[in-house]
């Protein structure tokens, strides 16, 4: 393309240096724009950020605190959010098959595509999807962990409880 721009249409007539310079500058800018676009697409496609995954309640009061906790304590940049109303109850009771399969599929995407190395299963105070006390929700968290482990999840699975202030998070052993 650059070579064709530098050739003057009438070979018998000399091209002025100023025209040649202008055409060269235009073509250089165009090539620069194309290269920049390719580099930008390439960096987006191969971003190697560290990922984690949170199987979390859809309740917006807990999501930011969970994300920040995982980022701070597990050295990740991004946290994939797998949300349902009361996911710990859904996984523990094993009665809503379609929702469970959907949760499992999204965790698999996080693990296999984003290479998440940490998976948090979260319960919280005042959950509308799992309206029970902390002790029962902790039982649900533990059963949820066993369920994911039973599916062959090899990544570290942690259990988190979001307290009443929706800022304080306890890691459950």
> Which tokens is 61 given?
């009061």
139-168 tens-digit pLDDT:
999 999 999 998 889 999 999 999 999 999
Report the CATH number that the domain containing residue 65 is assigned in CATH.
3.40.1050.10
In this prediction, residue 10 carries a pLDDT of 47
Integer CA distances (angstroms), 115 to 21, 62, 80, 156, in order: 50, 24, 11, 12
Q: How many residues does the chain have?
A: 173
Q: Could you tell me the pTM of the whole model?
A: 0.73
Q: Are residues 17 and 102 in the same domain?
A: no
15-63 tens-digit pLDDT:
566 656 655 556 555 544 545 544 444 344 445 689 999 999 999 999 9
Q: Are residues 37 and 80 in the same domain?
A: no
Residue 15 belongs to domain spanning: 2-45
CA angle 71, 106, 93 (to 5 degrees): 100
> Which tokens is 170 given?
């306890």
In this prediction, residue 21 carries a pLDDT of 62
77-129 tens-digit pLDDT:
999 999 999 999 999 999 999 999 999 999 999 999 999 999 999 999 999 99
Task: Provide the domain count of the chain.
Answer: 2
Q: Are residues 34 and 56 in the same domain?
A: no
Q: Are residues 71 and 20 in the same domain?
A: no
């Amino acid at each position: 393309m650059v070579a064709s721009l530098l050739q003057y249409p009438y070979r018998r007539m000399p091209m002025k240096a100023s025209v040649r310079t202008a055409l060269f500058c235009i073509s250089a800018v165009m090539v620069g724009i194309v290269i920049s676009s390719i580099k930008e697409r390439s960096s987006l496609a191969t971003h190697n950020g560290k990922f984690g995954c949170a199987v979390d309640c859809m309740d917006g009061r807990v999501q930011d605190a969970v994300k920040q906790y995982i980022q701070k304590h597990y050295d990740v940049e991004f946290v994939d959010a797998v949300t349902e109303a009361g996911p710990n109850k859904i996984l523990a009771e094993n009665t809503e098959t379609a929702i469970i399969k959907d949760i499992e599929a999204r965790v698999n995407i996080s693990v296999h595509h984003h290479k998440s190395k940490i998976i948090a299963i979260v319960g919280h105070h005042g959950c509308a999807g799992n309206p029970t006390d902390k002790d029962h929700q902790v039982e649900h968290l533990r059963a949820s962990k066993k369920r994911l482990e039973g599916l062959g999840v090899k990544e570290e699975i942690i259990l988190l409880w979001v307290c009443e202030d929706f800022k304080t998070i306890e890691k459950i052993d």
